[in-house]
């Protein structure tokens, strides 16, 4: 199977079976999404969604958050991973939003990554989800799943994965494909015990096909 055939099969299956894939983070504005995505780093969306209602109730705008001190923000985010650094990043991010962008969340990767605590993955999520521009955010799920199923080969880092996916996925599907891969990795192609028997894209999965071939070879050896 060629890489082109694998992409076509996987995209076709997801397009038919999961056409409306979206983020599981709860938000109402670009500011709220940015805060939620920053908190979601190495943390579950479920946990973030439990934290953000009270956080947004206290700091409904970037101006409110910019006026806070990290110690106060910490009390609202202490149940997420790395709360100390995230509290500091959130405050510094908000202050830059106010000082440089007048409270407006920028809509380009280049501008977003000038904000404290905002890396390329977070910036791509914002560009794709909040502003509906073509972008491929690569988190741990996307990185793992893309390599396992064969959309990438020996990818060394998220940027390599991003470039490989962008090269083969139609621009208009990049944002949706990001969620396809995240949700697939979260619920089906899990890190330790992937649910291959329940996987709709198994016919195009490189790892699954390798395992089936190895199983068939082993069975043939036993019967020989």
Q: Please give the annotated binding residues for [4Fe-4S] cluster, written as ranges.
A: 189, 196, 199, 205
Q: Is 218 a known active-site residue?
A: no
Q: Is 86 a known active-site residue?
A: no
Question: Residues comprising the binding site?
Answer: 189, 196, 199, 205
Please identify which of the residues 86, 107, 139, 218 carries the catalytic annotation: 139
Please identify which of the residues 121, 133, 197, 217 carries the catalytic annotation: 121
Sequence-ordered list of residues with C-beta below 8 angstroms from that of 206, at least 6 positions apart, any chain: 1, 6, 148, 149, 150
Nearest 5°: phi and psi at 54? -70, -40
> Can you tell me whether residue 17 is helix, strand or coil?
helix
Element (H, E) at 149: helix 140-149
Q: Which two tokens stand for residue 89?
A: 């990043």
* Among 183, 106, 105, 179, residue whose Cα is nearest residue 136: 179
What CA–CA distance (Å, rounded) separates 177 from 79?
30
Element (H, E) at 136: none
> Can you tell me whether residue 172 is helix, strand or coil?
helix
What CA–CA distance (Å, rounded) separates 98 from 21?
32
Q: Give the catalytic positions in this structure.
A: 121, 139
């Amino acid at each position: 199977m060629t890489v082109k055939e694998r992409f076509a099969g996987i995209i076709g299956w997801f397009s038919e079976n999961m056409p409306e894939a979206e983020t599981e983070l709860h938000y109402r504005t670009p500011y709220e999404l940015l805060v939620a995505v920053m908190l979601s780093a190495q943390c579950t969306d479920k946990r973030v969604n439990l934290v953000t209602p009270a956080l947004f109730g206290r700091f409904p705008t970037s101006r409110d958050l910019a006026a806070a001190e990290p110690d106060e923000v910490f009390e609202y985010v202490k149940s997420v991973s790395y709360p100390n650094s995230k509290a500091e990043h959130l405050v510094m991010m908000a202050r830059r939003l106010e000082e440089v962008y007048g409270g407006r969340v920028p809509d380009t990767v280049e501008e977003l990554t000038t904000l404290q605590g905002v890396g390329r993955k977070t910036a791509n999520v914002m560009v794709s989800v909040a502003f509906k521009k073509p972008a491929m955010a690569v988190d741990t799920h996307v990185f793992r799943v893309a390599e396992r199923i064969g959309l990438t080969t020996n990818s060394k880092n998220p940027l390599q994965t991003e470039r490989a996916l962008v090269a083969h996925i139609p621009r208009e599907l990049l944002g949706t494909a990001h969620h396809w891969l995240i949700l697939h990795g979260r619920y089906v192609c899990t890190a330790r015990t992937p649910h291959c028997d329940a996987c709709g894209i198994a016919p195009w999965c490189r790892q699954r096909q390798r395992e089936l071939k190895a199983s068939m070879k082993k069975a043939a050896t036993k019967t020989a």
